[in-house]
Structure 1
């Protein structure tokens, strides 16, 4: 198979390119001229791995990039919890998907589209564990990112109903080795924790998220290409836990002290507003913003049983994943213990 990966210079997209190559597939990586491609393999002779310069907001560049490919992995997205210009979420996450779908229709060789959505597209759970049947209530949105992914999910479902060969995947909170981007929020928070800039727990452990290791997610994407049924949704999530448990596990694994107190979310929200102000002055996006705190006030627990049964998805435990992540962060010199 020749696969095209959008968002190839990102956290998930880069690991996906490597995973596809390892499985013997040819890969074309869609990147912008300004993208950091240091984590991608060098282009090879014979087109086993090649770069295609373009952007999902540029329709013509997609037509050129899709030519001769059989599978599209659409992993490109803006995943920030906050942006000074929220319209970018829709131009990339919503209109970008529209462009991908239309360009795929115009490309005769395309056999399958693997679309990377998000658990946010399904909405919060708040006291129960949801599966793929959940539909976003659309009554509240913690972030503009959530709103954009819900809107894009409707477009993907409509495309599936019209017979477009699309498979929709819903990752949980992604963690693991790779680029230290906003999409790798677990690594970012661990760095803050070990540096002493985050001295306590975030809230009181009432939050719940479904954590998935990036390499398990890559395996799930490749399995969806081979086994995923057209028009189906698959949650590629993992262990449901709070960030308090993540910090406790990290302390046990690194043989360091656990945080001694909890920081109320109202204080973290105030700090987030301060970081937003600094961001407007410096242009650097904040790690924590008020929308981040809105997310933490809810629970996002999901079951991946369908993916286990149909795709052979096999997520590792959070403890096993953190036993890999912490030494990796230490080897980079970004944490010490």
Structure 2
């Protein structure tokens, strides 16, 4: 039985998009906790949950396009909660100056559909730490970065930080719509998601050297990120934005390990990391999330 602080308004939730690493992992963990899950994917080729679907009658697969309003409504029908994470379209997998418009449109469609779905009680919106850390005065600010901060849109455009720009604009769009429609939304501002498939092409890494030097280069493990999403959904006291990470890359050995992982053929560190081998002061805080997750029970629920 869950602690009294947790609230289960209904046992059916929607995960959109379930084709990515985070989405598919969320589906599996939610099923373990006893939820009925509507898992949405954009294309038949995206389906990584076929084996799970055959074994678990509580999993329903929907083919929903974030730009097709009706398909979103169909997927969310009967659900009390939505876990939303954006997966770039197959025909535009890379972040460029046009991706922000795509991601904003998707966020707007999904949140509008939530507002029209009477059963939806809570939305957990996956955003990024990059929507918090990029500002012109980040070096002069004495306080640590936290959930109250926002990346500067003009700064992101100036330095072509397209991933940060997309995440910032999409999250701002979602928050504006949630407040206008009086929806219960919480955002998870995640650090760089670690895993064996991490590559130097990951769009989060644009500006990695500057993040390292500023003490705001944060990463998160998949299991921790999944648990954070579920904890935030289940705990009725959750609100606003939550910075989500469980490691800060601010030591020389951290930088060396990450650089080796991303560019195994390289003979040396990037110059920006090799010039100054001191430990960088951490200037970003995830105290709000850590406090919320103190009593979170990560074990599967037993029927």
1:116 corresponds to: 126
RMSD, aligned α-carbons: 3.8
Cα 1:145–1:82 change in 2 (3 A) is farther
- Give, in whole Å, the separation in 1 of the partners of 2:267 and 2:55: 55
What SS does structure 2 have at the residue aligned with 1:140?
Answer: helix
2:151 corresponds to: 136
Using the TM superposition, give the Cα deviation of residue 245 of structure 1 relative to its aligned residue in structure 2, in angstroms. Answer: 3.2
Of residues 16-25 and 31-40 in structure 1, the stretch that sits farther from structure 2 once superposed is 31-40
1:90 corresponds to: 101
Contact kept? 2:18, 2:40, Cα under 8 Å: yes
Check if 1:305 corresponds to 2:287.
yes
2:7 corresponds to: none
Counterparts of residues 198-277 of structure 1 (less than 5 Å): 206=213, 208=215, 209-227=217-235, 229=237, 231-242=239-250, 245-246=253-254, 248-249=256-257, 261-264=268-271
What SS does structure 1 have at the residue aligned with 2:193?
Answer: strand
- Give, in whole Å, the separation in 2 of the partners of 1:143 and 1:165: 30
Cα 1:224–1:4 change in 2 (3 A) is same
Cα 1:140–1:18 change in 2 (3 A) is same
What SS does structure 2 have at the residue aligned with 1:101?
Answer: helix
Q: Which of 146, 169, 173 in structure 2 is aligned with 1:155?
A: 173
- Give, in whole Å, the separation in 1 of the partners of 2:172 and 2:210: 33
Using the TM superposition, give the Cα deviation of residue 118 of structure 1 relative to its aligned residue in structure 2, in angstroms. Answer: 0.7
2:77 corresponds to: 67
Cα 1:261–1:155 change in 2 (3 A) is same
- Give, in whole Å, the separation in 1 of the partners of 2:128 and 2:48: 26
1:100 corresponds to: 110
- Give, in whole Å, the separation in 2 of the partners of 1:258 and 1:156: 41
- Give, in whole Å, the separation in 1 of the partners of 2:153 and 2:126: 20
Of residues 121-130 and 151-160 in structure 1, the stretch that sits farther from structure 2 once superposed is 121-130
What SS does structure 1 have at the residue aligned with 2:168?
Answer: helix
Using the TM superposition, give the Cα deviation of residue 75 of structure 1 relative to its aligned residue in structure 2, in angstroms. Answer: 1.1
Cα 1:250–1:25 change in 2 (3 A) is same
- Give, in whole Å, the separation in 2 of the partners of 1:158 and 1:64: 24
Which sections of structure 2, spanning at least 5 residues, go unmatched?
A: 1-10, 203-207, 273-280, 297-303
- Give, in whole Å, the separation in 2 of the partners of 1:155 and 1:122: 15
Q: Deviations over 1:130-149 (max 9, x none)?
A: 11111223331142221121
Using the TM superposition, give the Cα deviation of residue 17 of structure 1 relative to its aligned residue in structure 2, in angstroms. Answer: 0.9
- Give, in whole Å, the separation in 1 of the partners of 2:20 and 2:40: 11
> So what's the TM-score if we normalise by structure 1?
0.66
- Say which structure is richer in helix: 1
Contact kept? 1:166, 1:230, Cα under 8 Å: no
Cα 1:94–1:231 change in 2 (3 A) is farther
Cα 1:238–1:186 change in 2 (3 A) is farther
Contact kept? 1:70, 1:111, Cα under 8 Å: yes
